[in-house]
Every structure is written in C-alpha cells, then in structure tokens.
Amino acid sequence: MSERNQDPTEAMRLKASLYPLVDEGTACTQRSFKANNRGFLYIGEQGGRYKAMFKLEQSLAEAAELAENAPADYQVGTGGWVTARFSAESPMPQQLWEKWLDESYRLSVASKKKRTKK
C-alpha cells in the first residue's frame, strides 16, 4: 500500500493515545478519545471519507473561516465542536490537526480542573 493510500487518521489516533490519562473507546462507529471522562477527539470513517471532531475555543475563528471557505470539509457546531472531513488523497493538514488536537485535549483536562476548584 502506498503512503498516499494509508489511513490518514492513524497519526491522529496515535498522537491522541499518547496524552496522559487518555481512555480510548468507541462512540457509535467512531473511535473516541477522552481525558478525565471528557471527550476531545471523535474520529472514524463516514460516507467514503474520514471525519474528525475536535472541541475548540481559541481556534474557533479559524475553524469558522475554514467552514465558510470549504463547507464540505469543515463545520462548526454547537459547544465549540468542529468537524473536519477529508480523504486519504486529500488529508487534513498535519499542522492544523496537531494544533486542534492539542487544544482539544487541553480543554478536556482544563474543564475537569475548573469543576474541582469550587
């Protein structure tokens, strides 16, 4: 199998699994990654393409701009959840998914800290 035809979510799933305190599971037909019982990445294949969902805050404006320019590839949902759709031939840019994955993980860990500060 050529490198171009490999599963473009493999590197994302590997990076997500290496964060501290991560639980990997399944949600519907997707792989789910949680820290402190808070989801930060949902990823899988859907409709012949791949889909990754990230929880964002600081990068929401960037995601909204991408969604405006490429609505078939990016959507901004409620609660800061952003969905990216891509293929093996046209994967999500690594610099972007790494940035969003780091932010999503930090938010999942920070939300637990906020709840315990009361």
Domains parsed from the chain with CATH numbers? 3-112 (3.90.1150.30)
Q: What is the pLDDT of residues 23-81, one digit of tens each?
A: 999 877 889 999 988 999 999 998 889 999 999 999 999 999 999 999 999 999 999 99
Strands (E), the chain: 22-27, 30-35, 38-46, 49-55, 74-76, 81-86
Give the pLDDT of residue 113: 55
Give the pLDDT of residue 3: 47
Tokens of 7: 């599963």
What whole-number distance in Å separates Cα of residue 117 and Cα of residue 66? 35
> How far from chain centre, in Å, is Cα 90?
17
Go through the chain and tell me how many residues it has. Answer: 118
